[in-house]
């Protein structure tokens, strides 16, 4: 038996890994911006479009960043009598956060057709994901896309969203009322609506344009009116400022605020990065004195998640059900779970139906047999997501602990699974009965919590460890301490053994 002297023995371990850390969204993101141009044809309508994308170096035809995809698509429509080149600072900024932006130069002012042009642009980029000759091959998220635009192009983006239920977010700037009416079709938009408005807009005033749009839209919806802003300062060029002399906000500040909220809404709902929730709906947005904020949320569908265990054959009748936790992009949502266990894969004969589970684990006593199980995560009756299905067999007849062979030394096993979320199994062996403690430490050796403590008989032991909700992702160490060993070994001091675990939230 290995005997260790007292003391905390932890090897500090430093991991340098990619992590999605939310920067101030008004600052440039982690990528450079490359750009190119294309000519598109839709039902005889020919038009050019510029495309900005994440790249290794900034520049025309630059090599796209092939490491960090997939990237989501955003189509942007320019204003009446304007050029797509007037908004390049916005395109570069969004590309630096991992989006592909395509901005057509509209061939006319037919508002409904402009909306269909934007949809065509989104579908063009998505199709490049399957084109082995395209720079975007295997780099595009084909499930989520966003729309934006300024003035007439902003109104067209709302018409497009009303005609295409696959659009995840529409976030126009100073959106103008259109023909047909964007105001009248707002309730047909299935995705998120985020209206960025200018408080002192003299061309598309908030009260006659964006406010009626907001009122007619379904939740989730936001109206963020930038204080002191005007209509033309959403653009990079100043040649049109004479058309709207209203407002007092500096151009640089109006552009900064605009990019902040565009970046936040697209990161939250296209990249599903909840660290941006605070900039859209949370404290940061509600305390931002540069805007007048109105919003309406609703319960959202939990994101996809998977089961962990049980699977295969279980040699005991007490079964620990464990699954990955899910979450909603609405951080105010309460996630509950429903555990369903059936004797058949189609779940036509449900044997156990346990509802209103708030943790991502549950323990049941189950008799021998073959079972199928799945979990439903839900935030309301109409917003829910099912997990995958696992199959397991309970062979409780062999649930007999072998007493003839006892461990001949203390051993702390590696936790499983590792990395883990939400829980992990920690096992250890004891050759003698003694007072035993397992504690958790961070990489700096600071004690986080006690996992188990008490007197344990000789034999094999295990515990299911579920961290509390405040524990951040990272590397941790768990340590088995056996104090004052006696029995057949005399007074032999202490046994200490430490293992590393990785927690992923």
Let me know if the fold of 307-398 is the same as that of 411-503: yes
Cβ atoms of 129 and 118 closer than 8 Å: no
pTM, full prediction = 0.78
Name which CATH class applies to 307-398.
mainly beta
Look at residues 76, 69, 78, 16 and name the one whose alpha carbon lies nearest to residue 52.
76
CA distances from 222 to 90, 172, 198 (A): 20, 11, 14
Q: Give the pLDDT of the chain (505 residues) as one tens digit per residue.
A: 344 444 433 333 323 233 344 468 999 999 999 999 999 999 999 999 999 999 999 999 999 999 999 999 999 999 999 999 999 999 999 999 999 999 999 999 999 999 999 999 999 999 999 999 999 999 999 999 999 999 999 999 999 999 999 999 999 999 999 999 999 999 999 999 999 999 999 999 999 999 999 999 999 999 999 999 999 999 999 999 999 999 999 999 999 999 999 999 999 999 999 999 999 999 999 999 999 999 999 999 999 999 999 998 988 888 889 999 999 999 999 999 999 999 999 999 999 999 999 888 898 888 999 999 999 999 999 999 999 999 999 987 654 444 446 788 889 999 888 888 888 889 888 888 888 999 999 988 899 999 999 888 888 888 888 888 788 888 999 999 987 654 444 444 578 999 999 888 7
Residue 500 neighbours by CB distance under 10 Å: 15
pLDDT score, position 121: 98
At the topology level, CATH places domain 411-503 in: Immunoglobulin-like (2.60.40)
109-134 b/e (C-beta count within 10 Å ≥ 16 → b):
eebebbbbbbbbbbbbbbebbeeeee
Q: Angle at the Cα of 144 (from 388 to 75), degrees rounded to 5?
A: 175
461 forms beta bridges with: 428
At the topology level, CATH places domain 32-296 in: Rossmann fold (3.40.50)
154-173 b/e (C-beta count within 10 Å ≥ 16 → b):
bbbbbbbbbbbeebbbbbbb
What is the domain partition of the chain in residue ranges? Answer: 32-296, 307-398, 411-503
* 178 vs 116: CA distance, rounded Å: 14
């Amino acid at each position: 038996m290995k005997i260790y002297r007292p003391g905390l023995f932890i090897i500090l371990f430093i991991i340098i890994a990619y992590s999605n850390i939310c920067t101030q969204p008004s600052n440039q993101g982690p990528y450079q911006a490359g750009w190119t141009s294309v000519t598109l044809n839709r039902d005889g309508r020919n038009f050019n479009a510029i495309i900005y994308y994440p790249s290794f170096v900034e520049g025309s035809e630059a090599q796209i960043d092939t490491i960090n995809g997939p990237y989501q698509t955003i189509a942007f429509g320019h204003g009446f009598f304007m050029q797509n080149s007037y908004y390049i600072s916005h395109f570069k900024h969004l590309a630096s956060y991992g989006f592909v932006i395509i901005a057509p130069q509209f061939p006319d002012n037919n508002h409904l057709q402009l909306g269909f042009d934007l949809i065509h642009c989104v579908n063009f980029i998505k199709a490049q994901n399957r084109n082995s000759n395209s720079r975007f091959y295997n780099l595009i998220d084909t499930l989520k896309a966003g729309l934006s635009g300024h003035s007439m192009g902003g109104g067209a983006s709302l018409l497009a969203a009303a005609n295409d239920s696959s659009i995840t977010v529409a976030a126009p700037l100073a959106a103008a009322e259109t023909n047909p009416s964007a105001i009248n079709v707002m309730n047909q938009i299935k995705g998120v609506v985020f209206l960025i408005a200018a408080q002192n807009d003299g061309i598309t005033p908030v009260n006659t344009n964006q406010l009626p749009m907001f009122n007619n839209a379904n939740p989730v919806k936001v109206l963020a009116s930038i204080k002191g802003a005007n209509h033309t300062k959403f653009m990079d060029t100043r040649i049109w400022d004479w058309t709207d002399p209203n407002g007092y906000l500096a151009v640089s500040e109006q552009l900064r605020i605009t990019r902040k909220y565009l970046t936040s809404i697209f990161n939250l709902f296209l990249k599903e990065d909840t660290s941006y929730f605070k900039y859209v709906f949370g404290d940061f947005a509600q305390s931002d004195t540069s805007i007048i904020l109105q919003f309406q949320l609703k319960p959202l569908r939990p994101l996809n998640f998977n089961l962990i265990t049980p699977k295969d054959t279980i040699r005991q009748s007490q079964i620990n059900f464990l699954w990955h936790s899910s979450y909603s992009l609405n951080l105010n949502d309460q996630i509950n779970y429903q555990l369903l266990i059936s004797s058949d894969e189609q779940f036509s004969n449900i044997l156990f139906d346990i509802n209103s589970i708030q943790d991502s684990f549950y323990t049941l006593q189950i008799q021998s047999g073959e079972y199928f199980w799945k979990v439903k995560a839900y935030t309301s009756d109409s917003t829910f997501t099912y997990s995958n299905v696992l199959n397991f067999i309970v062979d409780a007849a062999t649930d007999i602990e072998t007493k003839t062979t006892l461990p001949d030394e203390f051993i702390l096993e590696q936790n499983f699974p590792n990395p883990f979320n939400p829980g992990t199994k920690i096992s250890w062996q004891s050759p003698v009965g003694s007072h035993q403690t397992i504690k958790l430490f961070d990489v700096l050796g600071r004690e986080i919590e006690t996992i188990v403590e008490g007197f344990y008989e000789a034999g094999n032991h295990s515990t299911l460890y579920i961290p509390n909700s405040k524990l951040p992702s990272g590397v941790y160490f768990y340590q088995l301490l056996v104090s004052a060993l006696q029995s057949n070994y005399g007074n032999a001091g202490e046994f200490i053994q430490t293992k590393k675990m990785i927690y992923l939230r």
